[in-house]
Chains A and B, each alone.
Chain A
């Protein structure tokens, strides 16, 4: 009897926790999962007010109260948001993110509460410093790679934006964007050249060892390739490439550049053109020869009734 009671007692805090954790969320979602469309805030920002409750509950953060991240909102959601509710560290970080997260910079800063180390290395990355120091609203922060905050799923799930099957496409969202390429001076050919390379082709057909962008360039602490801290800086490449290609030398690591071949790299460009000419001429000859011969054989069999123009 005593044992049964103890077991029951053990369940109580667990039940309390799940109940209390979701109660608040349920209150918010009661309206927000039903609301559709966008509203304009006093600050003039358009906000999508809908949160898909079911999808949210299936996400990695599905058990969280809304106010764990949306710290400005007190228990009464329709009170004006107050920065006073927010711990100081988060608040100061949020103040640097106002241009980036126009809806709720506090919520974006709140990622750092649990993912502190990652947040720090992101701030030092080229993506992070572009947002924090250069104040660019189109710089990549958490959500640009991980997707909508309410629906982040584990990285081994197909829906995850950073799943191996999706990561290259995710990087491409920005790195194939012409406007961004012009603004920041990067090439939009990078993904195309990756797909043409052996790494990219193997990736596309599903080779488990094929490297994606993040395997060579890293992710949260990504740097420009010329930065000496970047794993693909010239001095670090032998080590980076050497992780898969044992014994990689300085001479070997020039193999991958993502540079399109054309005027800058004329040898492969004209080599390919030459090969195409060779291929097409051979094709034209063999196909033409086969077709002509087939027609002449039919002609001999049908019209000349087996009397071939031979040496008889």
Chain B
């Protein structure tokens, strides 16, 4: 309780920041190489600029595969890293710092939306990760499983067909391609609205929060945006309630 309160707080370490950079680079590459296949124009002659910037559909396909594999490796690294951090005790599971969704997050969401509507007087108090962050994080997790897995099946169709049970072969490919393309659309729209608004367009973040590069958040912002984590780290000191 008598720790000195620094000016800044390290929110994400170097490894986490590198994982994020790889994630969004590959995400952008995948979106820009894959979009043309989602809505191919119905004319053969004019392949859209999304294909031309890669020097043709074949190159776009190669870039898409390389980016996809890189993203999956990044994901695997992240999961293994979290496993290591938790098992060695370097990262602890605590109610106010965990990314795991809790009942409080539902209450926070309701409270927040009531506040937006002018029906509530107070905004909810967040820990290290608000329900907005948690939604953002687990959406990527979900997409990684659904799009990553279906993408692997589509990239290696012959090999994947060995694993499919005989009773599924008449519809499994339809399901896989629908899964890959519809979920990809979901991911792109999600990032455009949710992530872009919350991390880029908000009045106090625009054009972006620098935390992704420095890993740091100012104590003022921390008090404001993550009050519960602040209390946990620095106690009530400085909080003039």
Q: Report which of B158, B171, B174 forms a contact with A245, defined as CB distance below 8 A.
A: B158
Assuming the contacts A275-B178, A295-B116, asked whether A165 and B203 have C-beta atoms less than 8 A apart, the reply is no
Q: Does A27 contact B (CB under 8 A)?
A: no
Rounded to whole Å, the gap between the CB of A112 and the closest CB of chain B is 32
| Among listed A66-74, A220-228, A249-257, interface-contacting one | A249-257
- Contact (Cβ within 8 A) A195 B164: no
Q: Which A residues have a C-beta under 8 Å from some C-beta of B?
A: 165-166, 195, 197-198, 201-210, 245-249, 251-252, 254-257, 261, 265, 267-268, 271-272, 275-276, 278-279, 282-283, 286-287, 289-290, 292-297, 299, 301, 308-312
Other than the known A205-B51, A255-B173, A272-B178, what 20 A-B pairs have Cβ atoms closer than 8 Å?
A: A197-B177, A202-B37, A205-B48, A206-B51, A207-B61, A208-B56, A208-B57, A245-B158, A252-B157, A261-B171, A265-B171, A267-B174, A268-B175, A271-B174, A271-B175, A271-B179, A308-B123, A309-B122, A310-B123, A311-B122
Q: Which residues does chain B contribute within 8 Å of A268, judged by CB atoms?
A: 171, 174-175, 178
A-B contact pairs, 19 of them (CB 8 A): A166-B44, A195-B40, A198-B154, A202-B57, A204-B40, A205-B41, A207-B56, A249-B162, A252-B157, A254-B170, A272-B178, A286-B190, A289-B194, A293-B197, A308-B123, A309-B121, A310-B123, A311-B125, A311-B241
Which of B37, B112, B174 counts the most A-chain CB atoms under 10 A from its CB?
B174
Assuming the contacts A202-B37, A309-B122, asked whether A251 and B166 have C-beta atoms less than 8 A apart, the reply is yes
Give chain B interface residues in 110-124, CB to chain A under 8 Å: 112-113, 115-118, 120-123
Q: Which residues does chain A contribute within 8 Å of B117, judged by CB atoms?
A: 292, 296
Q: Which B residues have a C-beta under 8 Å from some C-beta of A?
A: 36-37, 40-45, 47-48, 51, 56-58, 60-61, 112-113, 115-118, 120-123, 125, 154, 157-159, 161-162, 164, 166, 169-171, 173-175, 177-179, 182-183, 185-186, 189-190, 193-194, 197-198, 201-203, 224, 227, 241
Q: Which residues does chain B contribute within 8 Å of A310, judged by CB atoms?
A: 122-123, 224
- Contact (Cβ within 8 A) B194 A290: yes
- Contact (Cβ within 8 A) B186 A282: yes
Q: Report which of B37, B45, B193 forms a contact with A290, defined as CB distance below 8 A.
A: B193
Assuming the contacts A267-B171, A293-B116, A309-B115, asked whether A206 and B162 have C-beta atoms less than 8 A apart, the reply is no
Q: Report which of B44, B158, B166, B197 forms a contact with A294, defined as CB distance below 8 A.
A: B197
Rounded to whole Å, the gap between the CB of B228 and the closest CB of chain A is 10
Q: How many angstroms between the C-alpha atoms of A265 and B193 in the bound complex?
A: 35
Assuming the contacts A255-B157, A286-B194, asked whether A206 and B171 have C-beta atoms less than 8 A apart, the reply is no
- Contact (Cβ within 8 A) B41 A204: yes
Which of A203, A208, A252, A276 counts the most B-chain CB atoms under 10 A from its CB?
A252
- Contact (Cβ within 8 A) B182 A282: no
- Contact (Cβ within 8 A) A204 B58: no
Q: How many angstroms between the C-alpha atoms of A254 and B56 in the bound complex?
A: 29
Decide if the interface of chain A is mainly helix, strand, loop or mixed: helix
Which of B41, B158, B164, B173 counts the most A-chain CB atoms under 10 A from its CB?
B158
Which of A197, A206, A246, A293 counts the most B-chain CB atoms under 10 A from its CB?
A206
Rounded to whole Å, the gap between the CB of A191 and the closest CB of chain B is 11
Q: Which residues does chain A contribute within 8 Å of B166, judged by CB atoms?
A: 251
Closest to B51 in A: A205
Assuming the contacts A272-B182, A286-B193, A309-B120, asked whether A205 and B157 have C-beta atoms less than 8 A apart, the reply is no
Q: Report which of B58, B121, B179, B194 forms a contact with A207, defined as CB distance below 8 A.
A: B58
Q: Which residues does chain A contribute within 8 Å of B190, judged by CB atoms?
A: 282, 286
Q: Which residues does chain B contribute within 8 Å of A261, judged by CB atoms?
A: 171, 174
Q: Report which of A210, A247, A301 forms a contact with B203, defined as CB distance below 8 A.
A: A301
Q: Which residues does chain A contribute within 8 Å of B175, judged by CB atoms?
A: 267-268, 271
Q: Which residues does chain A contribute within 8 Å of B171, judged by CB atoms?
A: 261, 265, 267-268
Q: Report which of A206, A251, A255, A279 forms a contact with B47, defined as CB distance below 8 A.
A: A206
- Contact (Cβ within 8 A) A206 B44: yes
Q: Which residues does chain B contribute within 8 Å of A282, judged by CB atoms?
A: 186, 190
